[in-house]
Amino acid sequence: MSWPWRLAGWALFVLAGPALLALAGQVPFLTSGRLVFLAITALAAVGLCLIMGFAGQVSLGHAAFYAVGAYASGILTAGYGVPPIVALLAGMVLAGAAAAGVARAVFRVSGHFLAMATLAFGLILYYSLGHFRTVTGGNAGRGGIPKLAIGSWEATTDTRMFLLCWALVVLGVLVARNVVDSRTGRALRATGASEVAAGCCGVNVVRAKVGVFVLGALYAAVAGSLYAHYVTYIAPEEFGLLKSIQFLVVATVGGLTSVWGGPVGAVVLVLLTEASREAIPLFVEGATGPYELTIYGLVLVVVLLLFNRGIAGGIAHAWRARGRGGGGDPEPLAEDATGRPVPREVAP
Amino acid sequence: MTLLRTVGLTKRFGGVTAVDDLSIELGDVGITALIGPNGAGKTTAFNLLCGVLPPSSGTVEFRGRDVTGQPPHRIAVLGMARTFQNLELFGDMSVRDNVMVGAGAHLRGGIVSAALRLPRHRSDERAARERSDAVLERLGLGDVADRPASDLPYGLQRRVELARALATDPALLLLDEPMAGLSGGEAAEVAGAVRAIGVPTLIVEHHVETVMALSDRVLVLNFGRLLADGTPAEVRADPAVVEAYLGAEDAA
């Protein structure tokens, strides 16, 4: 894509934040409070897209890094009076160290060990949060967490908090794009296509994967920190397996192999679940309770049937196909003569 | 000067000994061919040299260092590059990006400099880009640099693999059947390119006539063992080689 298109894409993305706020003022089912959760989910999902789409590893424990960020912020600010920004950075350091430990231990062996290891890490952390009451507040949770403040600026309203979170989503996507479009990104895409050939080109496959896994965990930590400061109360139930799976669905629906996958998936899923909360009781009398999971499952199936790269991946693919069909590229030279299956696509 | 030395290199897969007590020494000039019938252990030998497979026993010494059991990326950074018999291109990446992966072998900037777009990242990208473009031009791939590698015809894909290997700035090039599936004219082009590159090369090839004409020295493997080692003329005259390999091919 040429630069005017790219610039237009970024402008659209930045402006989507205020546009969502405007929408929340117009429709009954959406509040600016829900938008804060949308942005937090989007941020965590950008990190998960890096881990799953680029390091090629299934993570079933993304909520664990989210928890590390949230509890670091909650405990340090409410318990020790540390400024929120410092606590947020501390959460990133802790989550990064935990991710490096998990990744280093399992990337040496190939296969599905990482999925199992992340699952185990998530479950251990989840039960620990309930168990170590003096530090975490146990299952009752921990309250009294201050609102996020940067110097004298305080995120006292939902609108302020949402705009801050959206700015961080934009920044997060920018950083992800920078990594994908670099030596590390090329090394990871190469590894996805042929691990042997990548190694013989000097790519340290383990180091590249550990690096991206740690980076992805940092996104979750920041998201967790934002959550703690927004809700001002944290308890283990927010950080269980269900949350990890929610992140997984958001990232997959948005598009694992696209840096835009996180925000796209979060917008689509949050808007649909919120709208359905309003709409379903109109059709099914007496229906109450959480529809979220049903909607998540449904959207996941529909999206994967329509575009196997997720929504953002599907759009990127269609855009390139349009470019080719419109004569933008010269004629294809020939077929792949080896008849090898073309490796899974990774859209920048 | 000795570039590569193997001592008693052996690889067993279960009961099969694919490479058997292979001891060779390569100097830092010229083209050496590694030939032998199918299943003689040529590709396995390559995999042992560049670290894709660990040997069952024996050692590999490259540029004066013992690299036995080292991972491929470390051996690659030391200066050994290779191509693959069954192409292992990064299919949906552009030709230039394929070559830039190779050109990145000696760069040190990591994920942090990339994420924050530090000056380190910019200078790394520029260096990789310049090196790649030079190699692409040299191998006549400049016009197709922006196309996905898997879109190219087979002959050009072979050349992209060669370009990717060259971009790592190798001290030794291992070519695993670089002419397989090519027409006579294309094979001659590859031979010319390998000559012109001037990097010490170890080449596995089935086009016996082409490779004999190209090489300064020929190693013959049979059942994993070194059967002969000499100039093309010497090897051609060796009765054991004629019986095991060349004769059989002539009769076919």
- What CATH code is carried by the domain that includes residue B46? 3.40.50.300
pLDDT band at residue A331 under the 50/70/90 scheme: very low
Pairing of strands B2-13, B57-62: antiparallel
Say whether residue B160 is in contact with chain A using an 8 A CB cutoff.
Answer: no
* Maximum CA extent, chain B: 64
Q: What is the predicted pLDDT for the residue at A335?
A: 38
Provide ipTM, 2 decimals: 0.91
Residue B57 lies in a domain: yes
The pair of structure tokens assigned to B197 is 């590159």
| CB-CB under 8 Å, B152 with A184 | no
List C-alpha distances in Å: B238 to A187, B197, B226.
46, 30, 13
Residues B202 and B244 in one domain: yes
Residues B74 and B102 in one domain: no
For residue A294, what are the contacts with CB-CB under 8 A and spacing of at least 6? none
Residues B105 and B147 in one domain: yes
The total domain count for chain B is 2
* Integer Cα distance of B56 and A297 in angstroms: 50
**CA-based Rg of chain B, rounded to a whole angstrom?**
19
Task: Collect all residues of chain B within an 8 Å Cβ-Cβ radius of residue A207.
Answer: 110
Q: Which residue of A has its CA nearest to B50?
A: A200
Chain B (168-207) residues lying within 8 Å, Cβ to Cβ, of chain A: 168, 181
Residue B215 lies in a domain: yes
- The amino acid that residue B208 corresponds to is V
Residues B51 and B158 in one domain: no
Backbone angles phi, psi at A264, to 5 degrees: -60, -50
Q: What is the predicted pLDDT for the residue at A274?
A: 83
Residue B177 lies in a domain: yes
Residues B75 and B1 in one domain: yes
Residues B140 and B188 in one domain: no
Candidates B111, B135, B152, B166, partner chain A, best to mutate (most A CBs within 10 A): B111
- pLDDT tens string A275-291: 887 777 777 766 666 66
Structural domain ending residue among the three candidates B118, B137, B168: B168
The CA angle B2-B8-B14, to the nearest 5 degrees, is: 135
Task: Collect all residues of chain B within an 8 Å Cβ-Cβ radius of residue A342.
Answer: 91-92, 150
| CB-CB under 8 Å, A202 with B147 | no
Residues B191 and B160 in one domain: no
Percent of chain B with pLDDT over 70: 97
| CB-CB under 8 Å, A333 with B121 | no
- pLDDT tens string B86-105: 999 998 899 999 999 999 98
Residue A259 lies in a domain: no
| CB-CB under 8 Å, A182 with B125 | yes
Residue A286 lies in a domain: no
Candidates A173, A201, A336, partner chain B, best to mutate (most B CBs within 10 A): A201
Structural domain ending residue among the three candidates B110, B140, B168: B168
Residue A265 lies in a domain: no
Higher pLDDT, A321 or A341: A321
Residues B74 and B175 in one domain: yes
Residue A328 lies in a domain: no
Q: What is the predicted pLDDT for the residue at A36?
A: 96
Residue B84 lies in a domain: no
Instruction: Of A19, A111, A36, give the one whose Cα is nearest residue A266.
Output: A36
Residue A48 lies in a domain: yes
Percent of chain B with pLDDT over 90: 69
Residue A27 lies in a domain: yes
pTM of the model: 0.84
* Integer Cα distance of B27 and A41 in angstroms: 59
Higher pLDDT, A76 or A206: A76
- pLDDT tens string A212-225: 899 999 999 999 99
Residues B129 and B67 in one domain: no
* Integer Cα distance of B76 and A52 in angstroms: 27
B95 in Cβ contact with B147 (< 8 Å): yes
Q: Does position A23 have pLDDT exceeding 70, yes or no?
A: yes
pLDDT band at residue B248 under the 50/70/90 scheme: low
Mean pLDDT computed over every residue of chain A: 85
* Integer Cα distance of A110 and A133 in angstroms: 37
| CB-CB under 8 Å, B128 with A199 | no
Residue A198 lies in a domain: yes
A20 in Cβ contact with A35 (< 8 Å): yes
Q: What is the predicted pLDDT for the residue at A6?
A: 86
Cα A42 from chain centre: 5
Mean pLDDT across B183-209: 89
Residue B66 lies in a domain: yes
Say whether residue B145 is in contact with chain A using an 8 A CB cutoff.
Answer: no
Residue B130 lies in a domain: yes
Of the candidates A186, A197, A332, which has its C-beta nearest B97's C-beta?
A186
Of the candidates B106, B121, B165, which has its C-beta nearest A182's C-beta?
B121
Of the candidates B82, B121, B181, which has its C-beta nearest A200's C-beta?
B82
Residue B229 lies in a domain: yes
Task: Collect all residues of chain A within an 8 Å Cβ-Cβ radius of residue B154.
Answer: 334, 336-338
Residues B156 and B40 in one domain: no
- pLDDT tens string A136-167: 888 888 889 999 988 888 888 999 999 999 99
pLDDT band at residue A333 under the 50/70/90 scheme: very low
* Least confident segment among B50-59, B109-118, B146-155: B109-118
For residue A35, what are the contacts with CB-CB under 8 A and spacing of at least 6? A20, A21, A24, A158, A162, A270
Residues B58 and B175 in one domain: yes
CA distance B73 to chain A (A): 4
Mean pLDDT across A164-192: 93
Domain range for residue A43?
17-240
Q: What is the predicted pLDDT for the residue at A3?
A: 80
Say whether residue B111 is in contact with chain A using an 8 A CB cutoff.
Answer: yes
CA distance B229 to chain A (A): 27
Q: What is the predicted pLDDT for the residue at A273?
A: 84
- pLDDT tens string A252-279: 999 998 899 999 999 999 888 888 877 7
Mean pLDDT across B66-70: 94
Task: Collect all residues of chain B within an 8 Å Cβ-Cβ radius of residue A186.
Answer: 93, 97, 100-101, 104
Task: Collect all residues of chain A within an 8 Å Cβ-Cβ radius of residue B150.
Answer: 336, 342
Candidates A183, A203, A340, partner chain B, best to mutate (most B CBs within 10 A): A183
Backbone angles phi, psi at A2, to 5 degrees: -80, 165
Placement of tokens 């269980």 in the chain: A240
| CB-CB under 8 Å, B111 with A212 | yes
Q: What is the predicted pLDDT for the residue at B76?
A: 96
| CB-CB under 8 Å, B116 with A175 | yes
Q: What is the predicted pLDDT for the residue at B206?
A: 82
Residues B215 and B151 in one domain: no
Instruction: Of B222, B224, B193, give the one whose Cα is nearest residue B210.
Output: B193
* Integer Cα distance of A119 and A109 in angstroms: 16
pLDDT band at residue A110 under the 50/70/90 scheme: low
Residue A329 lies in a domain: no
Domain range for residue B192?
1-79+170-251
Q: What is the predicted pLDDT for the residue at A111?
A: 58
For residue B130, what are the contacts with CB-CB under 8 A and spacing of at least 6? none
Q: How many CA atoms lie within 13 A of B153 on its CB side?
A: 8
- The amino acid that residue A163 corresponds to is L
For residue A161, what are the contacts with CB-CB under 8 A and spacing of at least 6? A36, A147, A148, A155, A226, A230
* Maximum CA extent, chain A: 68
Of the candidates B76, B110, B152, which has its C-beta nearest A202's C-beta?
B76
Structural domain ending residue among the three candidates B106, B136, B168: B168
Higher pLDDT, A298 or A228: A228
* Integer Cα distance of A154 and B246 in angstroms: 83
pLDDT band at residue A1 under the 50/70/90 scheme: low
